Structure 1
Amino acid sequence: MSTKTTGGRRGFLIAFIVALLAALVVVLVLTLDGGSGPDTAQPPPAQPVAVTPEPQAASQDAVAALPKSEPVSIDIPKIGARSTLVPLGLNPDNTVEVPPVTTPLQAGWYTYAPTPGETGPAVVLGHVDGNHQKGIFFRLKELAAGDRVSIARKDGTTVVFEVTKVHQVPKKDFEREGVYDDTAGPELRLITCGGVFDRSAHNYVDNIVVYARLVQA
C-alpha cells in the first residue's frame, strides 16, 4: 500500500511539473512572438505615396512687348481718371516737364521713356491739383495692387497694365527710387505730387509713384 501510494504521488508530481513547464514554454513563445491579438499587432510598413506636382502658374511676364507707338489717352476706372496724353520732354535744368498747371486735368507722357507697351518703363505724369481745382491724379494714391490702367495708342491698340505697388517718395530721394530704371518687360509708372504742401516752396514735398506691369495687349 505504501509503495503504491508513494508512486502515485510521484507520478502526479511529475505530471504537474511537466504541465507547468509546457505552460511556461507556451507563454515564452507568445511573448517572443509579440502576441496575435489586434492590440499588439504592428501596422504594416508605410508605402511610398506618389506626389503629383502642382501646375505652375503662368509667368507674369508672358505678355509680349509691342513695337513703339505714341500713347493718345489714359483711363483709370477706379479713380475716375480719364485724359488725353500730351508729349512731355525735359526742362532746361534736365527735370521732367509736367503738363501746364493751369490745366490740371491734363495728363502727359514722357517722350524719352519707352512708349506704353514697349519693353521698359513708360511714364505718365499728372497734377494732383492746380489752378484751385483737383488734378487728373488727385486720387492716384488710392490705387492698390491689382487695379487696372488702360492706355490707347496711336496704332489703334489699347494696352492694359495692372498695378503692382504704390510708393510715396520724398522728392529729395526720388532719384534713388529707380523710377526710370530698365525693366525686363513692359511696365508703366504714374507720377504725381503728394504729401505735405510746402507753402514757402509752393510745392508738395513728396511724389506718389504707381508701378504697374503689362497684362493685356
Structure 2
Amino acid sequence: MTEHEPAATPAPTSGPTSTPAPASAEERSPMSRALPGLLIAGSLGGVGAIMVGLLSMAPPVDDGSGPPQVVAQAEPSTVQIQNAGAFVLAPTVGPGGKNAPLTPARLEAPPPLAAAPIVAAIPPVKTTTAKTKPKPIRIKIPKIKVNASIGTVTLDRKGSLTTPPLSKPNLTGWYRYSPLPGEKGPSVINGHVSTRKGAAVFQRLRELAKGDHIYVYRSDKKVTRFTVSGIEQVSKSTFPTKRVYGNTNDAQLRLITCGGIYNKQAHSYTDNIIVYATLSKKKG
C-alpha cells in the first residue's frame, strides 16, 4: 500500500498578473457554495472504502461477542519466545546471562574467547594400563548448586554420544575419548536436564554465563577450575561438532545437556545446551 500523493501545487505564471478579487457569498451560486462540502464528503467516503478493504484483509479478532475461534498451533515454549526473530545466526557464541536469550552461533564460528587469563594445560600422565590412568571423578558448579559424580560415556553405533543411565539422574558422563579435564584440548562432560521422575543434574545449566566457575576433581588429586567463556542453544540437527570437539591449543571444557521442546512420543528434546569454558586455575 502506498501513501496518497500530495496535491499538485499550481505552477507560477510568467509575467505580472492581476489577482481577481474573490466573489462574495451572495454572488456564488448554490452549487458553488455546496461544492466544498461535497468534496469533503467524497474524500471521507473514499477513505472509508479503503479502510473497509484493509480491514477485510486483516486476521479475525475475537472480541468476545461470538463463539471463540479455534486456531491450531504448537504448544508455546520458552525456547520459541527467546528465539523469536533470530533469523540471522550470531557470528560468535554468546555470553549468556540472566534473562538473556540463548541462540546458536554460526556453524563455522570458533569457540568463544577465554573470559579469564589462561593457564598452561596439565601434561598428560603416562601410564601403561587404562586402570591406572587418571579420571575425572566429581564436578562442582557453585552458581547452579551442582555437586555430582562423574562416570564415563562413549559413542553408540550411530556415532552419537551416549548419556548416563536415566536411573541415575544426578550422574554426569565424561566422554572417555576426549582429553582428561585440564589437559590440552576440549574435555566433554554431559548430563541429563530431566528424567521422567523430575529434574536432573544439569537442569539449571542454561543459567550459566560468561565468567562463572566450574570445578572438576580428578582421581590423581588434581583440581581444575574452568571459567565459562560462552553458552549457546543449538538444534540437534545442526550440532556444531567442530566447535565442540575440535582441537584447541589450551585446556578447555564442554558441558552438554538437552534443551528446547520436549517430544513426548520420542522421549527427547529438540536442542542441546552447550557451555564452553577454559582452564583458568589448577592445583595438585
Q: How many residues align?
A: 159
Kindly indicate whether residue 243 of structure 2 is the aligned counterpart of residue 186 of structure 1. Answer: no
Distance in 2 of aligned mates of 1:79 and 1:172: 28
Paired residues of 2:230 and 2:277 also in contact (CA < 8 A): yes
Pick closer, same or farther for the CA change 1:176–1:92 going to 2, 3 Å. closer
Match of 2:222 among 157, 163, 172: 157
Pick closer, same or farther for the CA change 1:147–1:200 going to 2, 3 Å. same
Q: Which amino acid aligns with 1:105?
A: N
Paired residues of 2:119 and 2:279 also in contact (CA < 8 A): no
Distance in 1 of aligned mates of 2:270 and 2:207: 18
Indicate the residue corresponding to 1:125 in structure 2. Answer: 190
Q: Which amino acid aligns with 1:60?
A: P
Kindly indicate whether residue 118 of structure 2 is the aligned counterpart of residue 61 of structure 1. Answer: yes
Match of 1:90 among 141, 151, 155: 155
Alignment gaps of 5+ in structure 1: 1-58
Indicate the residue corresponding to 1:8 in structure 2. Answer: none
Q: Which amino acid aligns with 1:66?
A: P
Residue 175 (structure 1) shift = 4.0
Structure possessing the higher radius of gyration over alpha carbons? 1
Pick closer, same or farther for the CA change 1:91–1:158 going to 2, 3 Å. same
Indicate the residue corresponding to 2:168 in structure 1. Answer: 103
Larger mean CA deviation between 168-177 and 125-134 belongs to 168-177
Residue 118 (structure 1) shift = 0.6
Distance in 2 of aligned mates of 1:106 and 1:96: 15
Alignment gaps of 5+ in structure 2: 1-115, 126-133
SS at structure 1 position matched to 2:239? helix
Question: TM-score by structure 2 length?
Answer: 0.54
Distance in 1 of aligned mates of 2:120 and 2:241: 28
Q: CA RMSD in A?
A: 1.5
Paired residues of 1:89 and 1:96 also in contact (CA < 8 A): yes
Paired residues of 2:164 and 2:172 also in contact (CA < 8 A): yes
Residue 60 (structure 1) shift = 3.0
Paired residues of 1:104 and 1:131 also in contact (CA < 8 A): no
Residue 176 (structure 1) shift = 4.7
Question: TM-score by structure 1 length?
Answer: 0.70
Kindly indicate whether residue 260 of structure 2 is the aligned counterpart of residue 195 of structure 1. Answer: yes
Distance in 2 of aligned mates of 1:80 and 1:133: 16
Pick closer, same or farther for the CA change 1:91–1:176 going to 2, 3 Å. closer
Pick closer, same or farther for the CA change 1:216–1:138 going to 2, 3 Å. same
Distance in 2 of aligned mates of 1:181 and 1:111: 15
Distance in 2 of aligned mates of 1:121 and 1:63: 14
| Percent identity of paired positions between Structure 1 and Structure 2 | 40
Match of 2:211 among 139, 146, 151: 146
Q: Which amino acid aligns with 2:218?
A: R
